[in-house]
């Protein structure tokens, strides 16, 4: 049985048009242009703040693989995929037994304000073990920090943040980039993220090899192959093992051993997510949280990123909000039937796969579906943005679709060890709960499935000032 989270991971890959690299085909990254790097900083404790991720990787064995989910988040520099490919190649080659899942959900042109808007679709539902994050500032001054706060509040992911490389926009932009990089260094300390300080390493590399900034760029800012290899290699340096010290993450991820032959589990816990590890037997189990099925709790539902316009790959709507009403798994379609050349005026209708027609809307007005499930604010539409970027009108009519789906399980069916798709045996039972005290009940209703461990996830924000 494919879990809801596996379905979510596959859906995300389809939506971002970035396929996972095959574990069989990928090896150490075949650098083409990269030359000798500047010496590593002796004062930098590489990997100190991603210690749990590195521990999971390094302790994976053929008999006991660990599941490790890594998500790359940002805009076009991250979407170029250099860092993802280089880091993934390093990790797959060094830790071949780890159950490694890697995803890149970056969207070009989406600075901090728009990234904050879409992350409820592109980051939070995936609950990764590690997020690698780089984005430029845009919109409100607090947007970048608000993204980090959201990660720290809504996930237990370890976090890598990256400063800016050198571009060719000139001295005025250089000063702004340096100020922004300093902000990232400061916030890395405040929120205890692993800081990859790219900026002070870029010029020494250029000097070492007699290069100009433009030699690493395809335009004023985006990397060519050489620049992308440097960008990724400097980040990959941080994926180093640290001495084992579980106290570094024990407050965030609690591991509970389950007594042999337990068929009923009743557990009070403080957190936002519970995973189980099961590697023997077969059967079914019923799950409840605070006396309810997880599907009866609004927070455990999520929405896929809405699809693109006909003229651009970016989402046509940046956010969809689920209201506090009964929710069902369903595909939704918003049909834009009229749209001006500038996309400043437009009208649309909305329908649901099973619930039927759900009303009509137009630019500048908040929209709520007839059944009160979906809400869309006018500023979440990105039609005019697509026209500005592509400099051509959007043909109509066209459809924008998204799916509402559960991220948790009411019933967990375990069909025995899945050595191909889930060799770790780790399954998420419930996630995206409000931080706080909860009660989990698991009741095995069929078969002889043996739950070995429970993992309780508590966000960083519980331990931060």
The average pLDDT across 200-208 equals 98
pLDDT recorded at residue 462: 57
| pLDDT tens digits for range 395-424 | 999 999 999 999 999 999 999 888 788 999
DSSP string computed for 345-371: SEEEEEEETTTEEEEEEETTS-EE-TT
pLDDT recorded at residue 21: 33
- The proportion of the chain whose per-residue pLDDT surpasses 90, expressed as a percent, equals 86
Please state which of the ranges 54-68, 156-170, 236-250, 309-323 shows the lowest mean pLDDT. 236-250
CA-based angle 170:34:28, to the nearest 5? 135
The average pLDDT across 183-191 equals 97
- CATH number for the region 4-246 comes to 3.40.50.1110
Q: What is the mean pLDDT of the chain?
A: 92
Tell me how far apart the alpha carbons of residues 275 and 235 are, in angstroms, rounded to a whole number: 29
**Is 407 within 8 Å of 4 (Cβ atoms)?**
yes
**Is 124 within 8 Å of 302 (Cβ atoms)?**
yes
- Between the CA of residue 292 and those of 10, 240, 295, what are the distances in Å? 28, 42, 8
pLDDT at 18 over 90: no
Instruction: Say how many C-beta atoms besides its own lie within 10 A of residue 450's C-beta.
Output: 18
| pLDDT tens digits for range 107-159 | 999 999 999 999 999 999 999 999 999 999 998 999 999 999 999 999 999 99
Q: Write a three-state SS string for 430-461.
A: ECCCCCCEEEEEEEEEEECCEEEEEEEECCHH
pLDDT recorded at residue 279: 81
pLDDT at 309 over 60: yes
- Between the CA of residue 233 and those of 82, 86, 168, 184, 238, what are the distances in Å? 9, 7, 21, 19, 9
- Between the CA of residue 200 and those of 38, 43, 351, what are the distances in Å? 10, 14, 52
- The proportion of the chain whose per-residue pLDDT surpasses 70, expressed as a percent, equals 93
| Phi (first) and psi of residue 357, to 5 degrees | -65, 140
**Is 333 within 8 Å of 351 (Cβ atoms)?**
yes
> pLDDT: is 262 or 12 the higher one?
262
pLDDT at 443 over 70: yes
Please name which of 47, 110, 54 lies closest in space to residue 78, comparing C-alpha atoms.
110
Omega of the bond prior to 189 within 30 degrees of 0, cis?
no
Q: Which residues of 229-255 are buried (b: 16+ CB within 10 A; e: fewer)?
A: bbbbbbbbbbbebbeeeeebbeebbbe
Categorise residue 127: left if φ over 0, alpha if ψ from -120 to 50, beta otherwise: left
> pLDDT: is 25 or 175 the higher one?
175
pLDDT recorded at residue 19: 32
The average pLDDT across 219-235 equals 98
pLDDT recorded at residue 263: 86
Domain 250-297+408-462 of CATH type 1.10.1040.10: no
pLDDT at 13 over 90: no
| pLDDT tens digits for range 335-359 | 999 999 999 999 999 999 999 999 9
* Domain edges within the chain: 4-246, 250-297+408-462, 299-406
pLDDT at 99 over 60: yes
Please state which of the ranges 119-128, 156-165, 247-256 shows the lowest mean pLDDT. 247-256
The average pLDDT across 438-443 equals 97
pLDDT at 63 over 60: yes
Tally the C-alpha atoms within 13 A of residue 30's C-alpha that lie toward its C-beta.
3
Tell me how far apart the alpha carbons of residues 45 and 240 are, in angstroms, rounded to a whole number: 9
The average pLDDT across 450-459 equals 95
**Is 38 within 8 Å of 208 (Cβ atoms)?**
yes
């Amino acid at each position: 049985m494919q879990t809801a989270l596996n379905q979510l991971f596959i859906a995300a890959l389809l939506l971002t048009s970035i396929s996972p690299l095959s574990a069989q085909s990928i090896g150490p990254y075949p650098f083409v242009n990269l030359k000798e790097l500047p010496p590593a900083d002796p004062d930098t404790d590489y990997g100190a703040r991603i210690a749990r991720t590195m521990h999971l990787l390094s302790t994976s064995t053929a008999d006991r693989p660990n599941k490790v989910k890594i998500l790359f988040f940002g805009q076009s520099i991250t979407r170029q995929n250099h860092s993802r490919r280089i880091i993934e190649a390093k990790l797959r080659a060094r830790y071949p037994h780890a159950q490694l899942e890697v995803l890149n959900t970056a969207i070009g042109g989406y600075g901090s304000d728009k990234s904050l808007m879409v992350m409820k679709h592109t980051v939070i539902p995936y609950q990764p073990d590690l997020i690698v994050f780089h984005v430029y500032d845009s919109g409100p001054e607090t947007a970048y920090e608000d993204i980090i706060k959201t990660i720290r509040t809504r996930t237990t992911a370890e976090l890598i943040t990256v400063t800016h490389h050198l571009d060719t926009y000139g001295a005025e932009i250089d000063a702004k980039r340096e100020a922004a990089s300093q902000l990232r260094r400061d916030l890395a300390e405040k929120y205890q993220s692993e800081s990859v300080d790219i900026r002070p390493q870029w010029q020494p590399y250029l000097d070492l090899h007699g290069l100009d900034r433009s030699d690493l760029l395809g335009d004023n800012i985006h990397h060519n192959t050489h620049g992308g290899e440097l960008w990724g290699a400097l980040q990959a340096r941080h994926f180093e093992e640290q001495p084992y010290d579980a106290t570094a993450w024990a407050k965030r991820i609690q591991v509970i051993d389950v007594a042999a032959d337990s068929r009923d589990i009743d557990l009070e816990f403080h957190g936002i997510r519970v995973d189980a590890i099961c590697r023997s037997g077969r059967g079914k189990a019923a799950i409840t949280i605070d006396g309810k099925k997880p599907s009866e709790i609004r927070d455990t539902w999520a929405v896929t990123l809405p699809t693109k316009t006909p003229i651009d790959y970016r989402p046509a709507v940046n956010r969809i909000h689920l209201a506090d009403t009964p929710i069902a798994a369903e595909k939704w379609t918003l049909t834009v039937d009229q749209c001006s050349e500038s996309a400043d005026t437009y009208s649309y209708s909305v329908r649901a796969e099973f619930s039927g027609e759900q009303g009509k809307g137009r630019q500048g007005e908040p929209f709520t579906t007839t059944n009160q499930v979906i809400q869309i604010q006018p500023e979440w539409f990105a039609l005019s943005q697509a026209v500005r970027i592509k400099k051509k009108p959007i043909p109509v009519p066209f459809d924008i679709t998204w799916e509402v789906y559960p991220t948790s399980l009411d019933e967990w069916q375990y069909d025995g060890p899945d050595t191909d798709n889930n060799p770790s045996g780790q399954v998420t039972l419930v996630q995206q709960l409000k931080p706080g005290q909860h009660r989990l009940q698991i009741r095995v209703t069929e078969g002889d499935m043996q739950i070995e461990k429970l993992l309780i996830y508590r966000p960083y924000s519980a331990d931060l000032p």
